[in-house]
Amino acid sequence: MSRADYTLGHGSGDYRVRHYDLELDYRIGPNRLTARAILSAVADAELGRIPLDLAGFAVQGVRVDGRAAKFTHRGGKLVVRPDRAVRGEFTVEVRYSGNPRPVASRWGEIGWDELTDGALVASQPTGAPSWFPCNDRPGDKAAYRVSLTTASAYTVLVTGELVGRRARGSTTTWVFERREPTAPYLMSVQIGRYDEVELASGQRLAVPRRLRDAAAHDFGRQPGMMRALGEWFGPYPFGEYVVVVTDDDLDDPIEAQGMAIFGANHVDGRRTFERLVVHELAHQWFGNSLTVADWRHIWLNEGFATYAEWLWSEASGGAPAAEHAREWRARAGSDLAIGDPGVARLFDEQVYRRGALTLHALRGRVGDEVFFGLLRSWAREHAHGTVTTEEFIAHAERAAGVPLRADFASWLG
């Protein structure tokens, strides 16, 4: 399958975005967003058209390097035609408004979504255009500044550091900066009536008051998870980690950069879903700091996070990783090449379970000392970058000092 098949119809390789500056004004009742986005980008070759991904809004105007530009907007594509071609560094400013809603995909509707009382963003893999114009490729990572104004009764959480908050009348403006390079799908906005609970230094929980006690218990071992993952994978790659529990149910937890989002149905006061807690935390290393260059390599996200579940099970007194491996080796299918799963099966269970089995097999092949050492050096050397399967295989071979390509072909095939 060609690499182009994994674009999912989004993004462009003709330019790279270095920084997004988003100014958002959101009215919760009518679900109305009025916004301005400024993209600072660079093109290696001359560009006479600049394609952006943006779905479901009316575009009031576009400027390129401060000059008004022509544009067309249909089918989720905003194609900008500047009055003169750009090369090197350039900026695109887009003013737009409308009622944000999820975008349709073969995995359901994803992106900006209304809650019963608030909003959330869940963008993996193609939902980012539901709320801002972007180059929607996982490998095009950029820094962000997000300013969001909404009713003062609500708490706003955006992936990034809160650098400013000011109230004016009945509204409050929240300003966040995400300095580390971030893929568009990993940017998230959460709006709700939340209490905040500090779990540990740099670890916060935002939760509806009715779920506060149960959530504090269910996520109570997260600081221990953070220490354990730090030993296995190296230092936590971001400044803080925020877990949001919505007042609505969600099918699955959602990963974002420096953040994870769980539904009310994932909280029961009995730690029933603790494996999901460690899974989402592990994505901060594998998925967020190390982001796949394109979706072909998704096992590098999901296999690693699933193996973290098995490691934590063993470390916390549950079934050892070897027992999980035996169970899933007997149950996992074998009809999918998880190193090249195809677009339709990106989120197939085999990608998760056989991805973890691949890591367990590698561990058995090279031994614990080499295995955990190569995981730490992999995370360190590629921090805040993009990665591919080929790069991981080469890294493992260098660390182990033995040929492993045939093994990986068997494990991933």
Summarised one tens digit per residue, pLDDT across range 280-300 is 999 999 999 999 999 999 999
Residues (pLDDT < 50) of the chain are 1-4
- What's the pLDDT score for residue 5? 74
**pLDDT of res. 332:** 84
Shared-domain flag, residues 146 and 178: yes
Show the tokens assigned to 283: 């994505």
* Whether residue 59 sits in one domain with residue 98: yes
- Provide the domain limits for residue 269: 195-284
Are 253 and 341 members of one domain? no
Residue 58: the pLDDT is: 98
Q: Which of 263, 284, 305 is the last residue of a domain?
A: 284
Residue 218 lies in a domain: yes
In whole angstroms, how far apart are CA 369 and each of 364, 376, 402? 11, 11, 15
Question: Residue 258 — left, alpha, or beta (φ > 0 → left; ψ -120 to 50 → alpha)?
Answer: left
End-to-end CA distance of the chain: 14
Q: Does residue 156 sit in the same domain as residue 303?
A: no
Tell me which of 246, 266, 284 is where a domain ends: 284
Q: What pLDDT sits at residue 333?
A: 84
Asked if residue 280 and residue 207 are part of one domain, the reply reads: yes
Give the H or E element holding residue 2: none
Q: Same domain for 370 and 407?
A: yes
Instruction: Please give the angle made by the CA atoms of 25, 192 and 219, to the nearest 5 degrees.
Output: 135
Instruction: Please check whether residue 2 lies inside any domain of the structure.
Output: no
Same domain, yes or no: 300 and 313: yes
- 167: in domain: yes
Same domain, 316 and 406: yes
Report the side by side order of strands in the sheet with 77-81.
50-53, 77-81, 70-74
Name the pairing type of β-strands 203-207 and 86-98.
unpaired
User: Residue 4 falls within a domain, yes or no?
Assistant: no
In a shared domain, residues 128 and 174: yes
In a domain, 172, yes or no: yes
Q: Which residues of 35-49 are buried (b: 16+ CB within 10 A; e: fewer)?
A: bbbbbebebeeebee
Evaluate whether residue 3 is within a structural domain.
no
Q: Is residue 241 part of a domain?
A: yes
In order of 114, 122, 123, the CA distances from 101 in angstroms are 8, 11, 11
| 5 in any annotated domain | no
Do 180 and 232 lie in one domain? The reply is no
The rounded distance, in Å, linking the Cα atoms of 69 and 212 is 50
Quote the pLDDT of residue 4.
Answer: 42
- pLDDT 10s digits, 289-331: 999 999 999 999 999 999 999 999 999 999 999 999 999 999 8
184 and 253 share one domain: no
How many structural domains are present in the chain? 3
Residue type at position 48: G
pTM of the model: 0.97
- CB of 290 within 8 A of CB of 378? yes
Domain boundary among 262, 284, 306: 284
CATH assignment of the domain containing 167: 2.60.40.1730
What SS3 state is found at 9?
Answer: coil
pLDDT of residue 1: 37
Amino acid letter at 403? P
Query: Does residue 222 share a domain with residue 180?
Result: no
CATH number at residue 344: 1.10.390.10
The answer for 234, left when phi > 0, alpha when psi is -120 to 50, beta otherwise, is left
1 by Cβ neighbours in 10 Å (0-12 / 13-18 / 19+) ranks as exposed
* Domain CATH number, residue 275: 3.30.2010.30
Query: Per the omega criterion (within 30 degrees of 0), is the bond before 129 cis?
Result: no
Angstrom distance (rounded) from CA 344 to CA 285: 25
| Separation between Cα atoms, residue 163 and residue 177, nearest integer Å | 7
